[in-house]
Amino acid sequence: MVNGGAMSGSGNLMDFLDEPFPDVGTYEDFHTIDWLREKSRDTDRHRKITSKSKESIWEFIKSLLDAWSGWVVMLLIGLLAGTLAGVIDLAVDWMTDLKEGVCLSAFWYSHEQCCWTSNETTFEDRDKCPLWQKWSELLVNQSEGASAYILNYLMYILWALLFAFLAVSLVRVFAPYACGSGIPEIKTILSGFIIRGYLGKWTLLIKTVTLVLVVSSGLSLGKEGPLVHVACCCGNFFSSLFSKYSKNEGKRREVLSAAAAAGVSVAFGAPIGGVLFSLEEVSYYFPLKTLWRSFFAALVAAFTLRSINPFGNSRLVLFYVEYHTPWYMAELFPFILLGVFGGLWGTLFIRCNIAWCRRRKTTKLGKYPVLEVIVVTAITAIIAYPNPYTRQSTSELISELFNDCGALESSQLCDYINDPNMTRPVDDIPDRPAGIGVYTAMWQLALALVFKIVITIFTFGMKIPSGLFIPSMAVGAMAGRMVGIGVEQLAYHHHDWIIFRNWCRPGADCVTPGLYAMVGAAACLGGVTRMTVSLVVIMFELTGGLEYIVPLMAAAVTSKWVADAFGKEGIYEAHIHLNGYPFLDVKDEFTHRTLATDVMRPRRGEPPLSVLTQDSMTVEDVETLIKETDYNGFPVVVSRDSERLIGFAQRRELILAIKNARQRQEGIVSNSIMYFTEEPPELPANSPHPLKLRRILNLSPFTVTDHTPMETVVDIFRKLGLRQCLVTRSGRLLGIITKKDVLRHMAQMANQDPESIMFN
Amino acid sequence: MVNGGAMSGSGNLMDFLDEPFPDVGTYEDFHTIDWLREKSRDTDRHRKITSKSKESIWEFIKSLLDAWSGWVVMLLIGLLAGTLAGVIDLAVDWMTDLKEGVCLSAFWYSHEQCCWTSNETTFEDRDKCPLWQKWSELLVNQSEGASAYILNYLMYILWALLFAFLAVSLVRVFAPYACGSGIPEIKTILSGFIIRGYLGKWTLLIKTVTLVLVVSSGLSLGKEGPLVHVACCCGNFFSSLFSKYSKNEGKRREVLSAAAAAGVSVAFGAPIGGVLFSLEEVSYYFPLKTLWRSFFAALVAAFTLRSINPFGNSRLVLFYVEYHTPWYMAELFPFILLGVFGGLWGTLFIRCNIAWCRRRKTTKLGKYPVLEVIVVTAITAIIAYPNPYTRQSTSELISELFNDCGALESSQLCDYINDPNMTRPVDDIPDRPAGIGVYTAMWQLALALVFKIVITIFTFGMKIPSGLFIPSMAVGAMAGRMVGIGVEQLAYHHHDWIIFRNWCRPGADCVTPGLYAMVGAAACLGGVTRMTVSLVVIMFELTGGLEYIVPLMAAAVTSKWVADAFGKEGIYEAHIHLNGYPFLDVKDEFTHRTLATDVMRPRRGEPPLSVLTQDSMTVEDVETLIKETDYNGFPVVVSRDSERLIGFAQRRELILAIKNARQRQEGIVSNSIMYFTEEPPELPANSPHPLKLRRILNLSPFTVTDHTPMETVVDIFRKLGLRQCLVTRSGRLLGIITKKDVLRHMAQMANQDPESIMFN
């Protein structure tokens, strides 16, 4: 818009400001970008390249390269994000096992790799091979007994503490932005906020390393959310290589949206779900071109990860499952119950976690982040080790809970009493009575569930990278599996009850407890994040069949409704509010009957709006105005009496223009008249040389009338991505509304303290 | 906005217009809606319900019902759309077979059903059973020989002509809007245009019936596009049952977007693809809430269809395929070639079809639609019958082409020479040399391909329901299968060539011709419609595996790039332009350097803008102005001298308000002063009673300055869905830009004749 407006003034050759001067068009840290202006700048750039491309072959090739750079960036993001995800998976695998023991043939092998490469391994004893030694075997040559157990227990805690300490120290020292899941901040950045360094190279490096450390330490957190942050860092890095993206904050955000999709794509092996996640949950401005490119980046990332093959199963998917039996209508009831559980858990988690994080921010607690991490890690390790379901890594746990019990399954959860006469094929095992192992597992799962619920509340938000997807899914999967086993046993023992009679004859395989675990996981994830379509699609990509989409949808819908009844905010929005980021949510509906005049500044009783006049203020006047106020820009009017608006000048550009003019243009002194018109005003003969500033004047500022409903104003701010909007009545300038005014007003209307929500 | 603005004037109890009068807030046929206003009206309605709901339990229940009505509508749409799709499938199945013969046990059985129900059928002879009689058997008791062939040929042509004649007559007489695919018109309607009756009940009924007829007649068209229209008619029908949707054109369009998703969902059995199709291709305003609901509607529709089970295979999917072998990097080259073919076919088809349709519009040809349909049907039937690949229904053809050759396949396309020593499992058949049947099939396919290409150009656009998905896919599948067989034979006979050596050892199953057919189908569909993500997702849902997504993407991307190089418009946009619908495409980028002042009216030399003054015009003045002009509304200014804008009044509402006032308010005569201010102007003592019209004044008209780049203006029109926008300079009203002005300007900039594109 600045450039567009300047065109008409470009006839004047004397106007040195027509040459761009450095730093024009950039933003300061913690400021909001102007989407319309960024778009306009990109179109200008594009026009320039197109017209130049006809001049020579070299320019034509350059224009082609420019047109293709978007795809190249996507390819690079996909490759790097996929590679990083693969490396993280492999490293986590190894380091998680390191807490238990070490491989004698090569210390960098994980337990599984160690026994794979060993020839002495039989299929039955996949987990046991002489090359893999527990710490007790290695150190005191004992594999059984109380002292061995205690030694292993201690080593487990020591490694966990070491990993956690390393992680928190690295984050503290090198990259404070590497902590948390990063999704709230990425949402804010994508909505147009500038947080320098949040997606920087150091953050990328440190987050990748510390992510491995914290996941291996056994803390109740996941790597999925932080992977989105890591992918966005990759996106930021590659977009800085191409001037098309590095010099335009709007275009850069298109790349970041696609990178977020790639992040989810590698986190779950769900490319379509990743794109929908980016669309539904993260992105702000998502043109269709971006949709297609995001999809490309997500696919490249997924295939890169698959060729690294960290799970050793040629699968894209973290928790690949195949179920063999359909579900029945009557099962919808427990599925909906799981949805209710998910919604309640979501509400509970958000409330408690936000309360704890607020406490951390406001009390002394926040001053000892390293100590906090150490204490939580110690507690986690101490409580987790004795219970097999908390000792193993959370994603293994989820995987075990999702899986259906095959005939060969050795898991405790599959300890059913077999009918000796059974001669069915492996895939079609009828429902059986539960054995002692299942009952033990139920108790252990119940304890693990309570532990997970409590510890996750305290873990999420510490100064380490921490994702929420996996713990939420684990909570849901444990609850779901228990409900599933309950329903299964009920159906087995009471198959004559009316509700079971129609679909569960004796000897039939009618209940799949693994499906309940999956439904529970979806419900809990939905309750915490309030994702809907993307959640169901991610789950659909995990199972790869439309069969189970109805149970998943029923649970996801119920969970969202239940959770929404207690509060509309998902965990990410709640953290955005807690941190006071200026985020204007597309999903919030503004339904109050206020008008622009109620929100604009100056309010009644406040001093009048600081404005510039088009041709009567001196350089000194303006410098004083800039010094005395901290507004980001000033409306320019014809004269103070008529108050007729002609344009808007940015503070930053005014300062730069005056500085430049004073240094480089002759005759500019403090009482030079500044003018924004095309022709200089008529001045007395001996007055100093005037300063023309039309170049920096935005001739098309956005205006609304004072009677415009705030609902419309909010809509305009959201859809056009404005920074500010001027308010007029019958052509007279009355006031200004900034994005922060809008946010403050929305908070006020929702009965929140408006001052609590501003970024500080 | 009208209501919002009126609030401040509502203190005056004398102002009878505060009571709504009938028809306010509706639109005339072929007019564009004002999205901001519709949204504002909905918020008002919502506010009213929320505040009322606290008054009594009954009101509370009503408010709950209102909140749930969205989901109820979606459920109903899904159920009806799924049912209709199932009924259409069954009827098409039966009537297509009716062209060949009849079932003796029950004439309403299709060939397949007839032989299923017969006990004498063996698995080998699925197609032959005594109960199913060809026409020659039934009429002259001959099943073989030249005369039987000719009789069957004649019966085939006769039935085809009968079906086509019935279809075109029904469309002509009862529902002229039922012709075509409907997608261009639905896109236009969703963008905010009113075409009354286009989604009416008659259209629904006639389109459903005639769709069955034309598909059965064997014409080169598909039912997938029209199913979207049918689903949207269902959506319109159900939304008319709930005042929330029937009285608000904006909300109604949310329902229609979801209905379009349900339509694609049942057309292909691809719910996620349907939602993405609606998002990418059809919809204009697609808030996230709609995304979730569309998904729900699409799922309900898909499951309804599945429970009807028209394909008899419990599959959701029309062309379910499973491939057993992976694809290899070297195959990307033929896949990309297929992409190029798809792009070229898309360009060729669009150019020729549009030229032919333009001819139909402008010459005598358009006056004989029935004759045209009869002639095309006759030609199609005559040429199609001798070739087995054009005689069978197009979706069966595609299904056959997609399928991999199993060991039991009896198709001519699978006539390979088997190695007698082969003892491999059924699923893993190595590449074999082609037998005579395959070579015959290649010739027949080549002829069928040429025929399909030519005839589809003339078929699409006739006055019958006609979809383009299936013919495009058929063209691509035929080309793809031929390329696939070619590559397969090349690889078999030359497995020592460098390109084959790495991945295609003798005895390996390395090339899957069916996959080539699928890739070709995606490429051709992409070339014609320019779908991207939704296309790949639909194809992904057909195969149900991420394995083949890279070939599909490579072909889709290539096809889009090749086609875009010849022209950016897809077939639907081309038809929108041809018909001159006022459609502002979200995807078109406007990159010219024009300003609002270049587009606004009045232009230089034109008479000044027709405006109303706030308190000095009489009723007669206004009536004269309304009579003499045909503008949709008039800006209201303080006075003609100052030209300071205070609001905007709609023509329709001015007329209604004056009519109402003259009838019902005492003392209103032709020279009553009309005033838009809050207080009546001071008038001489004996002047007639003034008429207060503040109620209908939009106090927050949208304004931009004359220096605003058109790029920004186009963006504002698109994102906010405006009808018009006023242009000011330093607070003075200069002119007006309407949506049509914007469209005309865009056409001018693209070197099109601006007058040719307007709806007439």
Per-residue pLDDT at B465: 93
Nearest to A42 by CA among A243, A216, A273, A197: A243
State how far the alpha carbon of A363 is from the alpha carbons of A371, A411, A463, B135, B683, in Å: 15, 45, 15, 90, 69
Which residue type sits at B338?
L
For A202-220, write each residue's pLDDT tens digit. Answer: 999 999 999 999 999 999 9
- Give the residue from chain B lying closest to A553, CA to CA: B296
Q: What is the DSSP letter of B568?
A: S
Q: What share of chain A is helix, strand, coil (3-state, %, to 5)?
A: 60, 5, 35
A85-89, B444-448, B566-570: range with lowest mean pLDDT:
B566-570
Confidence of residue B318 (pLDDT cuts 50, 70, 90): low
Which residue type sits at B340?
V
* Percentage, residues of chain A above pLDDT 90: 36
Q: Evaluate if residue B146 carries a pLDDT over 60.
A: yes
What is chain B's mean pLDDT, rounded? 85
Task: Say yes or no: domain B71-308 is CATH 1.10.3080.10.
Answer: yes
**From the CB of residue A237, how many other CB atoms can be counted at a distance below 10 Å?**
18
Q: Which residues are paired to B728 by β-bridges?
A: B705, B733
Residue A24 distance to chain B (closest CA, Å): 20
| Sheet of B612-613, strands arranged across | B612-613, B633-637, B645-650, B697-698
For A461-513, write each residue's pLDDT tens digit. Answer: 899 999 999 999 999 999 999 999 999 888 888 878 887 777 777 777 788 88
Confidence of residue A575 (pLDDT cuts 50, 70, 90): very high
Residue with tokens 């069957």: B152
Could you give the CA distance from residue B760 to residue A232 in angstroms, rounded to a whole number? 49
Q: How many residues does chain B have?
A: 760
Confidence of residue A125 (pLDDT cuts 50, 70, 90): low
A299-303, A459-463, B325-329, B756-760: range with lowest mean pLDDT:
B756-760
**From the CB of residue A639, how many other CB atoms can be counted at a distance below 10 Å?**
12
Burial string for B277-294 (b: 16+ CB within 10 Å, else e) reads bbbbbbbbbbeeebbbbb
Nearest to B527 by CA among B555, B551, B501: B555
For B247-261, write each residue's pLDDT tens digit. Answer: 899 999 999 999 999
Could you give the CA distance from residue A511 to residue B341 in angstroms, rounded to a whole number? 50
Asked if B546 lies within 8 A of A271 by C-beta distance, the reply is: yes
Per-residue pLDDT at B752: 72
Could you give the CA distance from residue B487 to residue B481 in angstroms, rounded to a whole number? 10
**Taking CB atoms and an 8 Å cut-off, how many pairs form between chains A and B?**
174
- The more confidently predicted of residues A119 and A122 is A119
Q: Enumerate the CATH 3.10.580.20 domain ranges in chain A, comma separated.
A: 596-757
Could you give the CA distance from residue B396 to residue B388 in angstroms, rounded to a whole number? 11
Q: Enumerate the CATH 1.10.3080.10 domain ranges in chain B, comma separated.
A: 71-308, 329-415+425-579
- Give the residue from chain B lying closest to A585, CA to CA: B288
Could you give the CA distance from residue A651 to residue A644 in angstroms, rounded to a whole number? 20
A43-52, A121-130, A237-246, B742-751: range with lowest mean pLDDT:
A121-130
Mean pLDDT over A654-668 rounds to 84
Q: Pairing mode, if any, of strands A724-729 and A697-698?
A: unpaired
Query: Which helix H or strand E contains A618, and what residues bound it?
Result: strand A617-618
Nearest to B459 by CA among B656, B246, B195, B179: B179
Which candidate in B265, B530, B533 is best for mutational testing of the A interface (most A CBs within 10 A)? B533
* A546 and B CB contact within 8 Å: yes
Per-residue pLDDT at B324: 72
Per-residue pLDDT at B385: 92
Q: Evaluate if residue B31 carries a pLDDT over 60.
A: yes
Q: Evaluate if residue A161 carries a pLDDT over 60.
A: yes
Give yes or no for a cis peptide into B334 (omega within 30° of 0).
no
Could you give the CA distance from residue B725 to residue A472 in angstroms, rounded to a whole number? 49
For A171-202, write each residue's pLDDT tens digit. Answer: 999 988 988 889 999 999 998 888 888 999 99
| Residue among A644, A700, A709 whose CB faces B730 most closely | A644
Asked if A707 lies within 8 A of B299 by C-beta distance, the reply is: no
Q: Enumerate the CATH 1.10.3080.10 domain ranges in chain A, comma separated.
A: 69-308, 335-404+434-579
Confidence of residue A25 (pLDDT cuts 50, 70, 90): low
What is chain A's mean pLDDT, rounded? 85
Task: Say yes or no: domain B329-415+425-579 is CATH 1.10.3080.10.
Answer: yes
For B266-310, write each residue's pLDDT tens digit. Answer: 988 888 889 989 988 888 777 777 888 898 999 899 888 888 876
Supply A275's token pair.
């794109």
Query: Which helix H or strand E contains A521, and what residues bound it?
Result: helix A513-529
Q: Pairing mode, if any, of strands B703-705 and B724-729?
A: parallel
Nearest to B275 by CA among B450, B24, B534, B608: B534
Confidence of residue A386 (pLDDT cuts 50, 70, 90): very high
Asked if B549 lies within 8 A of A299 by C-beta distance, the reply is: yes
Chain B from 573 to 612: CB within 8 A of any A CB: 586-587, 589, 591, 593, 595-596
Could you give the CA distance from residue A682 to residue A690 in angstroms, rounded to a whole number? 10
Q: Which residues of B touch A646 (CB under 8 A)?
A: 730
Task: Say yes or no: domain A596-757 is CATH 3.10.580.20.
Answer: yes
Provide ipTM, 2 decimals.
0.84
Mean pLDDT over A553-564 rounds to 91
* A727 and B CB contact within 8 Å: no
The end-to-end CA distance of chain A, in Å, is 30
Per-residue pLDDT at A348: 95
Nearest to A704 by CA among A675, A723, A728, A720: A728
* A744 and B CB contact within 8 Å: no
| Residue among B533, B644, B711 whose CB faces A295 most closely | B533
Per-residue pLDDT at B370: 92
A362-371, B17-26, B109-118, B499-508: range with lowest mean pLDDT:
B17-26
Helix/strand/coil for A286: coil
State how far the alpha carbon of B561 is from the alpha carbons of A286, B527, B589, in Å: 21, 9, 16
Mean pLDDT over B118-145 rounds to 72
For B435-475, write each residue's pLDDT tens digit. Answer: 888 899 999 999 999 999 999 999 998 999 999 999 999 99
Per-residue pLDDT at A665: 79
Give the list of residues 6+ apart from residue B450 with CB closer than 8 angstroms, or none: none
| Residue among B291, B705, B709 whose CB faces A533 most closely | B291
**Residue B5 near residue B647, CB atoms below 8 Å:** yes
CATH of A69-308, one of 1.10.150.530, 3.40.50.12160, 1.10.260.40, 1.10.3080.10: 1.10.3080.10
State how far the alpha carbon of A66 is from the alpha carbons of A63, A164, B590, in Å: 5, 44, 18
Could you give the CA distance from residue A328 to residue B28 in angstroms, rounded to a whole number? 50
Which candidate in B730, B734, B749 is best for mutational testing of the A interface (most A CBs within 10 A)? B730
Query: Which helix H or strand E contains B724, and what residues bound it?
Result: strand B724-729
Per-residue pLDDT at A408: 59
State how far the alpha carbon of A312 is from the alpha carbons of A216, A267, A467, in Å: 19, 16, 24
Give how far the C-alpha of residue A328 lies from the chain's centroid of Cα atoms, to the nearest Å.
36
Cα angle at A93 between A88 and A98, to 5 degrees? 120
* Percentage, residues of chain B above pLDDT 90: 35
Per-residue pLDDT at A119: 61
Per-residue pLDDT at A481: 94
A308-322, A407-421, A572-586: range with lowest mean pLDDT:
A308-322
Confidence of residue A756 (pLDDT cuts 50, 70, 90): low
Supply A760's token pair.
């500080």
| Residue among A47, A291, A537 whose CB faces B533 most closely | A291
For B674-720, write each residue's pLDDT tens digit. Answer: 888 888 888 888 888 888 888 888 888 999 999 999 988 998 888 88
- Give the residue from chain A lying closest to B317, CA to CA: A546
Helix/strand/coil for B637: strand
- The more confidently predicted of residues A263 and B416 is A263
Per-residue pLDDT at B538: 86
Checking phi first, is residue A550 left (phi over 0); if not, alpha (psi -120 to 50) or beta?
alpha
> Given this structure, which CATH class describes domain A335-404+434-579?
mainly alpha
Confidence of residue A523 (pLDDT cuts 50, 70, 90): very high
Classify burial at A146, counting beta carbons within 10 Å of its beta carbon; exposed 0-12, middle 13-18, buried 19 or more. exposed
Supply B75's token pair.
């459920």
Could you give the CA distance from residue A538 to residue B711 in angstroms, rounded to a whole number? 37
E strand spans, A24-155: 101-103, 132-134
Q: Evaluate if residue B524 carries a pLDDT over 70.
A: yes
| Residue among A288, A591, A644 whose CB faces B280 most closely | A288
| Residue among B532, B546, B591 whose CB faces A292 most closely | B532
